[in-house]
Amino acid sequence: MRGVLVLALLALLAGPASAAGSERDRQIEALRAERDTRAQEASRLADEIARLKASTRGPRAGGELELKLRAFDRVARRLDELERRLARLETASGRLPGGLDEADLRPLLDIAIGPTDLGPALDAKIVLLQAEHQRGTTQSEQLGAALRVLALRLETKERQAREAETARRDAGTALPLLRRQADELKIELHELQSSRAVVQRRQGELARELATIEQRLAEAERRRAGAGSTSP
Amino acid sequence: MTTVFAPGRLASLLIALLSCAPPWAWSQTEPAADLAGPSDGWRWRPSLFVLGAYEYNRGLTVVGVSSSSASSSDLRPAIALGLEAARSGSRGGFQGEVSLLGRDPFDSDARAILFDGRAHAFRSLGSRWRLELDEALRLERREALPRGDFDRQQAQATLEYRGARGPAYRLQFADRRLRLPNTPALDVAQHTLALGVWTGTGGGASVEAKAVFRRFGEAALERNHFAAAFEATHVQAQGLLALRYHFSAALGRRPTPTEALVPVPNVALLAGRAPELLPEVPLADALDDEAESWPARQEHQLSLYGSRTFGQGLRFTVRAQVRWLRDREPLQKGLPGFDDRRWHLRATLRWRLSHHSALIAQAVHASETGNPAMPELVRSQVFFGVQLR
């Protein structure tokens, strides 16, 4: 009887907790989905801005570039907001930088070619190596796009931080909210810099992993070609 | 009344001396990218200003500050030295500035020295709490007008709580003291307790509303005040706009001035004694905040700040303030209060020539009316010069 009561009590306590947990998970999922959409939009705008910047001469931005920069600014602000809300909901370990998925940062498989790998075993490893190479190439493109977006967001954020910092110094104690705003922008800037460092680090690792895979793929194909030419 | 240099305040004073910030043209300088952004180490930057300062005054003769006609104007050199320090990371940061401005430093009769220092530090305490500490110190000395010397110090602590959703709640305590070494009757001390609600920086905009309880020191007749403030800012990559409205009202009835309270004669006599009694303090800092003023029955203040960057190196800044104090407490007990109306405007143009130099031009206009002892005070200043860093 006591056991039943304890179980009933546990169920009562666990019910709201799990409901709160699932509500939180739903929020995180919704926020991540919107962040991904916004990140794609930002990536597209960053590419267009880079193209327009390359074709613009002089310090003044052209009309189209100005419009794109403003549009990027709006998207970046929304991304800031989404990341801020996500940061409050997610655990530190579950947080990923720059709007990336876990798949974007997962290392490529280390597939070694052994001296006894021949025939179907070698073919299977070649298929695996090709799949990993494809995944690595896609990941590299995604990291490149994330870095382009982060670079532009950092540029915008640095200018905002400088504006707020100048105003904070100039306004003194008369406009105290400017101090808070300047602090917040510095922290956001720091988080963006940390995200960029993580993505850059992963990009470096990925380049090494891709080089290794290409080397092994070449070796495996050489071996298969050698085996084909020596077979009767 | 406790003085600004009381032993209990030594720690905060040391913080101020080790950190600090610039006045007038100096404070307009744009921080270098390396100082505005985060870093894990300390960054220091010294700076030098060589300026010409043109000043126009009207109304000071009424109180005997100016010697010649009803208005005066002159052009004098000014030099400013400063040092900035900054450190910031993902969980906290510090910014400090100290500056020393000397107007006409080589003329002992006209020399004016202004020291200004500010420090701001913040630290996240876990994911929800945050602590801020602020210290500001200002000292002004004029050789020809020692009665106008003043020291001002403000220390402030803010504790902020921000949940997973919704706004942040900010509890602030501030201690502010204004001390006139040669006119101690005008010293003012003030303690402030405020609770604010802040929306955060979503979309670059930020709004805060807060209720404030202020208590003035023994020298003030209006001891307790209720105040409310609303402030909004919007930051963009090319500019910034900030607006603040502050309202304050005295709590309780004001003691009726009587002959028995303080035997001070009348306003006319007060005006006659003005050279000794009324310093330039009300206009010494053309753009100060609401907490500076002496208590009033009711106070309204509107502050505006806007800046815009053009191209790579040109920056234009405007700062304006309108303040209306109804039934302001007189400078001596026993006199009736009066309505004090002030407005200030400052415009600055800064043109960056290189990473180490910039041209600066700044115009300030301040006007104060309503005080029966000095019916109209007008001061205009123009600074122009070069900044080297």
ipTM of the complex model: 0.73
How far apart, in Å, are the Cα atoms of B382 and each of A21, B87, B164, B322?
62, 33, 49, 20
Long-range contacts of residues B258-267, Cβ cutoff 8 Å, at least 24 apart = B258/B334, B259/B334, B261/B333, B261/B334, B262/B332, B262/B333, B262/B334, B263/B334, B264/B332, B264/B333, B264/B334, B264/B335, B267/B335, B267/B372, B267/B373
Q: How confident is the model at residue A185 (pLDDT cuts 50, 70, 90)?
A: confident
Of residues B342 and B129, more confidence is placed in B129
CA atoms within 13 A on the CB side of A120: 0
Please indicate whether, in this complex, the C-beta atoms of B317 and A170 are within 8 angstroms of each other.
yes
- pLDDT exceeding 90 applies to what percent of chain A? 6
C-alpha distance from A26 to closest chain B C-alpha (Å): 15
C-alpha A160/C-alpha B33 separation (Å) is 11
Asked if residue B172 lies in contact with residue B160, where contact means CB atoms within 8 angstroms, the answer is no
User: What average pLDDT is seen over chain A?
Assistant: 79
Whether residue A93 has pLDDT greater than 60: no
Please indicate whether, in this complex, the C-beta atoms of A183 and B93 are within 8 angstroms of each other.
yes
Q: How confident is the model at residue B120 (pLDDT cuts 50, 70, 90)?
A: very high
C-alpha A203/C-alpha A146 separation (Å) is 11
Whether residue B368 has pLDDT greater than 60: yes
Of residues A13 and A70, more confidence is placed in A70
Give the H or E element holding residue A67: helix A63-89
Q: Determine the pLDDT at residue A90.
A: 67
Residue of B64, B58, B59, B1 whose CA lies nearest to B270: B64
Q: Determine the pLDDT at residue B15.
A: 29
- Give a three-class secondary structure readout of B201-223: CHHHEEEEEEEEEEEECCCCCCC
Which pair of structure tokens corresponds to residue B51?
């300026």
Q: How confident is the model at residue A6 (pLDDT cuts 50, 70, 90)?
A: low
Q: Determine the pLDDT at residue B204.
A: 64
Q: Dihedral (C-alpha) B290, B296, B300, B301: value to the nearest 10 degrees?
A: -20
- pLDDT exceeding 70 applies to what percent of chain A? 78
How large is the average pLDDT for residues B335-344? 75
Whether residue B27 has pLDDT greater than 70: no
Q: Which of A203-207, B122-126, B149-153 has the lowest mean pLDDT?
A: B149-153
Q: Determine the pLDDT at residue B305.
A: 92
Mutate: best of B233, B290, B350, partner A, most A CBs <10 A: B233
Please indicate whether, in this complex, the C-beta atoms of B27 and A178 are within 8 angstroms of each other.
no
C-alpha A98/C-alpha B175 separation (Å) is 42
What's the count of helices (H) and strands (E) in chain A, helices before strands? 5, 0
Q: Determine the pLDDT at residue B155.
A: 93
Q: Determine the pLDDT at residue B64.
A: 43
From the centroid of its chain, how far is CA B120? 15
**Other C-beta atoms lying within 10 Å of the C-beta of residue B105:** 16
Q: Which residues of B touch A172 (CB under 8 A)?
A: 21, 27, 118, 136, 287-289
Whether residue A117 has pLDDT greater than 80: no
Q: Which residues of B touch A180 (CB under 8 A)?
A: 132, 198, 206, 208
Q: Which residues of A touch B288 (CB under 8 A)?
A: 172-174
How large is the average pLDDT for residues B313-325? 85
C-alpha B336/C-alpha A95 separation (Å) is 64
Whether residue B56 has pLDDT greater than 70: yes
Of residues B265 and B209, more confidence is placed in B209
Q: Dihedral (C-alpha) A208, A210, A216, A222: value to the nearest 10 degrees?
A: -130
Q: Determine the pLDDT at residue B8.
A: 28
Which pair of structure tokens corresponds to residue A8?
């009933």
- pLDDT exceeding 70 applies to what percent of chain B? 68
Q: Determine the pLDDT at residue B16.
A: 31
How large is the average pLDDT for residues B48-63? 70
Q: Determine the pLDDT at residue B156.
A: 93
Of residues B178 and B11, more confidence is placed in B178
Angle (nearest 5°) at CA A162 between B137 and A77: 125
Nearest CA in chain A to B84: A169
C-alpha A229/C-alpha B11 separation (Å) is 85
How large is the average pLDDT for residues A153-159? 88
Residue type for B241, please? Answer: L
Which pair of structure tokens corresponds to residue B186?
């005008």
Q: How confident is the model at residue B199 (pLDDT cuts 50, 70, 90)?
A: confident
Q: Which residues of A touch B360 (CB under 8 A)?
A: none
C-alpha distance from A172 to closest chain B C-alpha (Å): 8
Whether residue B13 has pLDDT greater than 60: no
- pLDDT exceeding 90 applies to what percent of chain B? 8
Query: Could you say which of A169, A183, A189 has the minimum Cβ distance to residue B37?
Result: A189
Query: Could you say which of B122, B240, B309 has the minimum Cβ distance to residue A164?
Result: B240
3-state SS assignment for residue A178 = helix
Give the end-to-end CA distance of chain A in Å, rounded to a whole number.
79
Q: How confident is the model at residue A18 (pLDDT cuts 50, 70, 90)?
A: low
Q: How confident is the model at residue B115 (pLDDT cuts 50, 70, 90)?
A: confident
Asked if residue B27 lies in contact with residue B100, where contact means CB atoms within 8 angstroms, the answer is no
Q: Determine the pLDDT at residue A64.
A: 80
Q: How confident is the model at residue A100 (pLDDT cuts 50, 70, 90)?
A: low
Angle, in degrees to the nearest 10, between helices A2-55 and A119-171: 80
C-alpha B31/C-alpha A165 separation (Å) is 7
User: What average pLDDT is seen over chain B?
Assistant: 71
Please indicate whether, in this complex, the C-beta atoms of A162 and B30 are within 8 angstroms of each other.
yes
Q: Dihedral (C-alpha) A84, A85, A88, A90: value to the nearest 10 degrees?
A: -110
Q: Determine the pLDDT at residue B33.
A: 41
The DSSP code for B184 is G
Q: What are phi and psi for residue A231, nearest 5 degrees?
A: -70, 150
Q: Which residues of A touch B239 (CB under 8 A)?
A: 163
Query: Could you say which of B31, B37, B93 has the minimum Cβ distance to residue A166?
Result: B31
Asked if residue B223 lies in contact with residue B198, where contact means CB atoms within 8 angstroms, the answer is no
C-alpha B231/C-alpha B223 separation (Å) is 25
Residue partners of B214: CB distance under 8 A and separation at least 6? B190, B191, B192, B224, B225, B226, B227, B248, B291
pTM of the model: 0.72
Whether residue A223 has pLDDT greater than 80: yes
CA-derived radius of gyration, chain A: 25
